[in-house]
Amino acid sequence: MPKQDRGATTPDGIDDVRVLEDLFRRRASRRAFLPDRLSKTILDKIFEIAQLSPSGCNSQPWNVTVCSGKAATAFGEALSTHAINAIGAPDIPFPREYRGVYRERRREAAWALFENVGVKQGDRRASAIQNAENFRFFGAPHVAIITSDEALGGYGVVDCGIYVNSLLLAAEALGVSAVPQGAPAEHSAFIRGYLGLPPDRIVICSVSFGYADMSHPANRTRTKRAPLAEVVTWRE
């Protein structure tokens, strides 16, 4: 077997690919949290690991603003109040439409959550209430707002996406649950104003995180992944 095809191992002999796969399979978007804040040691380690993410030309376009405890609660309350009547205006346009298989996957994911929390099909009020939890950051004790430099355009957004994935896996490795959220970014201008961010920072998303409340029915939700045959085309 060529050397480059051999699986790497950690010093104690554990196959690295198994560790990585286990993190991916364990990780899930949790939408209910315990109030307990993370220690500064764990917070630092999560973001130190995420900072190792690759980026185009090593530009590292992400900036992160983290609100914790009372600051996270106050931020969530302010954003929730704003979102009630505000017209959304995200920095990054939301999808024009979900069509075909993408629409099917989106609906399947939404109903996996709604069924667990007791939202009945056709109950728009109940689904709206559940969706509004996004603006409260699902009660998480910590929330990170991820922004990029406007001048870097789509490439900066892609780099921030890589960073967010690193952040999620770093949290999972440390026993911390997290949920990436696009919904708060619908109110990018409000977020910039509330947090005092410069006008050239575009809001990518938020990541709410902490220790999951596994007694909450929302956290029974799991989503499926498409088989390789649906997403990978091989050319030889």
**What's the rounded Cα separation, in Å, for the pair 163 and 230?**
26
Mean confidence (pLDDT) of the chain: 94
Q: Six-digit token pair at 227?
A: 């088989």
Burial class (CB in 10 A: 0-12, 13-18, 19+), 147: buried
Burial readout 60-85 (b: 16 or more C-beta within 10 A, e: otherwise): ebbebbebbeeebbebbeebbebbee
Residue 177: inside a domain, yes or no? Answer: yes
Q: What is the pLDDT of residues 121-142, one digit of tens each?
A: 888 899 899 999 999 999 999 9
Q: In this structure, what DSSP letter does residue 9 have?
A: B
The enclosing domain of 91 has a CATH number of 3.40.109.10
Q: What is the CA radius of gyration of the chain?
A: 19
**Domain containing residue 182:** 29-95+136-215
Phi and psi at 178, nearest 5°, equal: -150, 155
Q: Output the pLDDT for position 1.
A: 41
Look up residue 91 and give its two tokens: 């920095």
DSSP for 43-59 reads HHHHHHHHTT---GGG-
Asked whether the predicted pLDDT for residue 205 surpasses 70, the reply is yes
Specify if 58 maps to a domain: yes
Other CB atoms within a 10 A radius of the CB of residue 88 amount to 11
Instruction: Return the pLDDT at 7.
Output: 57
User: Which tokens belong to 163?
Assistant: 């960073």
Would residue 178 count as lying in a domain? yes
pLDDT at 122 (0 to 100): 87
What is the token pair recorded at 126? 């109940």
Residue whose C-alpha is closest to residue 181's, from 194, 169, 168: 168
| Residue 78 DSSP label | H
- Which residues pair with residue 33 across a beta bridge? 212
163-198 pLDDT, tens per residue?
Answer: 999 999 999 999 999 999 999 999 999 999 999 999
Residue 46 covered by a domain: yes
Q: For 96-116, how does the pLDDT look when each residue is reduced to its tens digit (9 = 90+)?
A: 999 999 999 999 999 999 999
Task: Name the domain count of the chain.
Answer: 1
Q: Is 4 inside any structural domain? A: no
Residues 38, 142 contacting (CB under 8 angstroms): yes
Non-local (6+) Cβ contacts of 108 within 8 A are 223, 224
Helix locations, 95-225, DSSP H: 100-117, 124-132, 153-173, 188-195
What's the pLDDT at 9?
63
